Amino acid sequence: MMFRGLTVRDCGAPLVLVALFGLAFSVAPAQADPVNIFVHPDHPGPPLPIALPDFPGASPAESELGHNIMSVVSADLERSGLFKPIDPKSFIQDAASLKVSPRFGDWRLINAQEVVSGGVATQPDGSIKIEFRLWDVFAAQQMTGLALSIDQAHWRRVAHIIADEIYKRTTGEDGYFDSRIVYIAESGPADRRVKRLAIMDQDGAQNKLLTECCALVLTPRFSPTPGSQEITYLSYAHGTPRVYLFNIDTGQQEVLGEFPGMTFAPRFSPDGNKVIFSLSTNGASEIYTMDLRTRKATQITSTRDIDTSPCYSPDGKYITFNSDRGGFQQIYTMNADGTDIKRISFGTGRYATPVWSPRGDLIAFTKFEGQNFSIGVMKPDGSGERILSNGFLVEGPTWAPNGRVLMFFRQTQSDSKGRGGSTRLYSVDLTGANEREVVTPQDASDPAWSPLLPR
């Protein structure tokens, strides 16, 4: 998707210009003045009370747009578990006068620690100008602000950008709201399941199917390269599994290569120049990499066992994967060339689908123990294992671009006649205390989180 007609400037700070698909997008650093608000995502405590009045406009259409934008901002922040939007019915100061200057005493009376002001105005060329400022109520000073000129069709993305700015200024960490999810949309009875590639915003909005109904698709993964709009996935379009590349902007698909066995779990390298996957032949499964420029494949493991689900560390120096080489399924790490293989999981049960955090500090995994499935994380040396969610079947973790939230899919158990089961997407933060369903139009599985969209 291409965004046009969007410019952004910081309110009260120098501009930093970044190009995106011919789109002028500028974001400046937050003000240097200290403020007394900081929420740590790992140890958040009670959610921060924040006032999010609708952005006023001079016309009903502008006011409706301002309401819609702030509704999305409020939903993003509330879903993070770190913010508590205050009921607008308690607001004392109206949004129009707030745009001129906050009356901080009014906001203190309702216990707001942060308040957002702004407005919406139509420009002579038909574009929409949106101004936004974040205020520290108790310090009585501005924390950050932006002014944006947009094509009205892209108002939802602007809402996510504003939510990201609030999240970053409050927590000190990058946000994750201006991102997308690719996943498998599932429909039909259990014995004739239709699985199609689909994409949506991280909050479940703007769902779109990307592939036709007749070809089974599995394991979609985004390229981590900034600005890239490519996905790699597995498809049974011609009866045998093949690894495909898919360009979201153009809709173009191409086969990555023809292999003499079953290919599984393709993922990009951090620089986007390679794809790593497993290839099964003669009962064994080995890990390969393929250079996307030369299409040359290189085998990097060699055993008689099953090595699969490989994933690079964010610096590209290491790979995590799962293997039964020790007798049953466990998580291992190795150098990017396949040397120095180390087992890192030592808990009870079996481990699968390891995924390295974008921050490099954790590896997420699926764990099977008896009839129980769990989503958990551990440090790259195997220490600090903790479970974030469990259930009848939970699987397929994927990281938000800031490494603070995971998404996965959960399957509920059907009755004895195969009725009533469903497969849905959920998100959970690293505390394990904030689990939320991500609503999709139909059953959904195997999510993959994109990097932040280019700005």
* Closest C-alpha among 178, 185, 188, 214 to residue 199: 185
Give the tens place of pLDDT for each residue, 100-113: 999 999 999 999 99
Rounded-to-integer distance, Cα 14 and Cα 9, Å = 8
Give the tens place of pLDDT for each residue, 316-361: 999 999 999 988 999 999 999 999 999 999 988 999 999 999 999 9
| pLDDT top residue among 259 and 394 | 394
> Residue 236: what pLDDT?
80
Fill in the DSSP letter of residue 400: -
Give the tens place of pLDDT for each residue, 110-146: 999 999 999 999 999 889 999 999 999 999 999 999 9
CA distances from 231 to 224, 234, 277 (A): 10, 10, 14
| Residue 349: half-sphere exposure toward Cβ, Cα within 13 Å | 17
Q: Is the pLDDT of residue 413 over 80?
A: no
Give the tens place of pLDDT for each residue, 365-378: 999 998 889 999 99
The residue whose two tokens read 């958990």 is: 376
CATH numbers and ranges of domains, the chain:
7-171 (3.40.50.10070), 180-449 (2.120.10.30)
| Residue 70: half-sphere exposure toward Cβ, Cα within 13 Å | 30
> What's the pTM?
0.89
Q: For residue 400, give both structure tokens.
A: 């938000």
> Residue 14: what pLDDT?
29
| Residue 276 contacts residue 297 (beta carbons within 8 Å) | no
Q: For residue 41, give both structure tokens.
A: 């995502």
Rounded-to-integer distance, Cα 188 and Cα 219, Å = 19
